Structure 1
């Protein structure tokens, strides 16, 4: 090898050693940008319409309250408990409610006994017919004493009434005996008058024969006239006595009628009071039954408003909040008018709960269930939006407890839109800009 050949070989080696890294670098850049270009033009990237929203529950949670309030005696459930319809959740102290019901029941029994007594007086019975509702309670000393008191009072009142009637009836019998006496007197007078008539007839014959005097005849006639007067007075006396009998009979009827009318008047008042007390008993029994607070629905206890035995519950205070069984968790989101063209019913979405720990809380899935047909405007901010309702999938499958979620909780929704390539994201704005740039107004 000549010196020239050696120099050429050495120069060639040096050139190759310099070009080789450059070539490798160029090839690497070609492969990188080529691969990136292929990926950018072919690989799909899912888009999303982002909207803020709040968590709601279909049908809303059921809040259990108590109308009267009271003192907590037992707490039978805890947060997270699943309960059935009508299941007891709390027990309030029933001392006051039971005492009030007993007082009203005792008052009702008294009125019922009084009603039975007044019915007996109105119907002029000789004994009281108490209702079975009272006679069946003979094991109760208070009821036995009540019935005995009413019987005693009824017997005394009946005895006084009979005495009054008896006195009047005795007067009638006296009047009737008086009439009998007067009639006997009349019969005697009529007998005397009959004898005098015969005597006058005989004296008239003797006068013709001159065997008697005119004075004797006139004296006999005067005596007969006097008897006629006595008879007339007796007839008038009988009429007067009969009038007295009629008046006494009216007094008897009035006494009986007055007793019945007074009983009827009192009976109306007692029945009105009895109806009122029955309504009060119904209300008191309802209050007593509601000392056991029961669940109005089947579901899951979300929140307890009381936690301590002996705690005083105010009227209308929230005691328990229950998520209805089968109730769906929904999200109401406000979609911007700029994104409404890419949001429709049936689209899937990803949900992030803003109030929960983002590092430990997984995202949830949802489906668009409703999109408002027209634009709405927030009254406070005057910002336009479309109301969108999304239905959550089973959140417990992704490790989110339903007890961690509350109505009104803030969420972020990412509604999945159509897939586009990275190149399309880069080129479309430029293309749209050119399309607008070369158009005249």
Structure 2
């Protein structure tokens, strides 16, 4: 509650809720409740008719005047006392009230609000437009582009010679290790001899089928004719060819002679038949004449009968000659058929033998190819230029088990790429052709900068790994120009590496809002 005031009493002028300092007084000096505000100033109450409310600025100017000094222009609403002609002035320090002044935090809060508004507003605007690169992290290691070569023996064997050791630089095709090949060489020689035999037989049969005068041997035999066994094969097949040809010609000649003899017999029979025919004609004429004489009684009948007997004998002889000719012609047909049968039989025999020989040649060639391949693999050769590492056998006479790895070759001139493992969770944003920044973790991060590269391959399916979990295999090709900018950076097979594969650009605001949007997307769903 307020309390009454009297002239000469010191009171406090305060700032009301309308932020204007005011003083409510009546002529009867009635007291009114004064509102409580922060800023205070003590003044002395004089008997006045009415005190208009001055402005804050004028009141402050008036309050700051020293005691006993009147302003030339008083604030509006402040008048002088007519009784004592004393102006309204601030009280002295001894007259101030013992109640301390109340301070306000409104300016501080207002300034802080402006600072926060500027900070968050500026940060939000920057976050909405500032580009922010995103990427998927993949770990891996340095690998040769064509991969390292691990050499092994399919069938194993006994080591007879070691020509290299770990760290040696070798050339493509260079012999590294010799294995015992005695049995393999014997098998190759046996199959080669069989092949030569069948090739010689094939050439002979082909010449017999073509009825050639000589044998045309294959190039394989002609190239190896300097070897004693090959020369013997050629001579043996040549002799057999000539003997078989002579036997065939002898059989054909015999048949031809039989045909010729039969033809001569036919000629003789036909000549005798012709002679008997002429005699028969004469006898028939004589019989006709004798019959007329017998009828006239001028000739005896027995003479006529004798002529008739001669006629019958001649007719029988002619018929016999005709039968002999027919039989001879049949014999010629049989001989001709026999001749054709002999030729056909020989041709069929040649064709069957030739087919069997060619089948044997094909089988022997296949077996010989396998034997030669095994013999060739008894000498372990370098598949390409490179450096030897990881030799597992160092003793001459040692036994290498079948399919056991003997040593490895690391290409020295081949390019080195980065083989990385991509998390399956990032496979939807990682694409072939994406830019990648590769950092070799073996080197100092302050000395060597990341190397730019390109993702060129992603495996078609996920690779299962019980230790590290499933992953997609990727291959990154390093930029040679960027690699050349760091000459002290030497890449070696197996170095660990970490790659950040670019997956696109987004703003800072999108990055910050992504988890919130995902949470909203997964939460606002009905069970």
Q: Per-residue displacement from partner, 1:313-355 (whole Å, max 9, x unpaired)?
A: 23322122222333426474789x9xxxxxx9666746249xx
Q: For residue 57 of structure 1, what is the aligned residue in structure 2?
A: 143
The change in CA–CA distance for 1:275 and 1:221 in structure 2 (over 3 A counts) is: same
- Work out the CA distance in 2 between the residues paired with 1:99 and 1:236: 71
After TM superposition, give the deviation of residue 249 of structure 1 in Å.
1.0
RMSD of aligned Cα (Å): 4.3
Query: Residue 390 of structure 2 aligns to a residue in which SS?
Result: strand
Q: Could you tell me which residue of structure 1 aligns to residue 112 of structure 2?
A: none
Look up the match of 1:233.
Answer: 320
Of 441, 446, 467, 1:351 maps to: 441
The answer to whether 1:93 aligns with 2:183 is: no
Which structure shows the bigger proportion of residues in helix conformation?
1
Structure 2's unaligned 5+ residue stretches are 1-136, 426-433, 501-527
Q: CA deviation at 1:97?
A: 3.0
8 Å Cα contact 2:179-2:379 kept in structure 1? yes
Q: Tell me how far apart the structure 2 counterparts of residues 382 and 69 of structure 1 sit (CA, whole Å).
A: 35
Q: 1:75 aligns with which of 147, 162, 165?
A: 162
Q: Following superposition of structure 1 onto structure 2, how do residues 258-407 of structure 1 map, counting pairs within 5 Å?
A: 258-324=345-411, 325-328=413-416, 330=418, 332=420, 349=439, 351-352=441-442, 367=451, 369=453, 397=488, 402=492, 406=494
CA distance in 1, matches of 2:386, 2:318: 104
Contact 2:142 2:491 in 1 (8 A): no
Deviation at 1:89, TM superposition (A): 2.6
Deviation of 1:107 (Å): 0.9
Structure having greater relative contact order (Cα 8 Å, sep ≥ 6): 1
Distance 2:260 2:463 in 1: 101
CA distance in 1, matches of 2:230, 2:475: 65
Task: Mark the CA change 1:100 to 1:188 in structure 2 (over 3 Å): closer, same or farther.
Answer: same
Q: How many pairs are equivalent?
A: 344
CA contact 1:351–1:414 (8 Å) conserved in 2: no
CA contact (8 A) 1:123 1:260 kept: no
Cα distance in 2, alignment partners of residues 331 and 215 from structure 1: 134
For the 8 Å contact 2:436–2:499, the answer to whether it is kept is no
> Which position in structure 1 is the counterpart of 2:259?
172
Length-normalised TM-score, structure 2: 0.54
Q: CA shift at 1:109, angstroms? A: 0.9
Aligned partners of 1:351 and 1:365 also within 8 Å: no
Identify if the C-alpha distance between structure 1 residues 313 and 219 changes in structure 2 by more than 3 Å, giving closer, same or farther: same
Query: Secondary structure at the residue paired with 1:77?
Result: coil
SS at match of 1:300: strand
Are the aligned partners of 2:162 and 2:178 in contact in 1 as well (CA < 8 Å)?
A: yes
- Matched with 1:191 is 278
Report the Cα distance in structure 2 between the residues aligned to 1:159 and 1:248, rounded to whole angstroms. Answer: 19
Structure 1: 5+ residue stretches without partners: 1-50, 338-343, 354-362, 416-441
Structure 2 partner of 1:118: 205
Q: Structure 1's 209 and 83: CA in aligned 2 closer, same or farther, altered over 3 A?
A: same
Q: Which moved more, 1:138-147 or 1:258-267?
A: 138-147
Distance 1:88 1:129, change over 3 A: closer
- When Rg is computed on C-alpha atoms for both structures, the one with the higher figure is 2
Sort the Cα spacing of 1:99 and 1:414 in 2 relative to 1 into closer, same or farther, 3 A: closer
Q: Who is 2:228 aligned against?
A: 141
Q: Which residue of 2 aligns with 1:223?
A: 310
**Cα separation, 1, equivalents of 2:475 and 2:265:** 106
For residues 154 and 113 of structure 1, the distance between their equivalents in structure 2, rounded to whole angstroms, comes to: 11
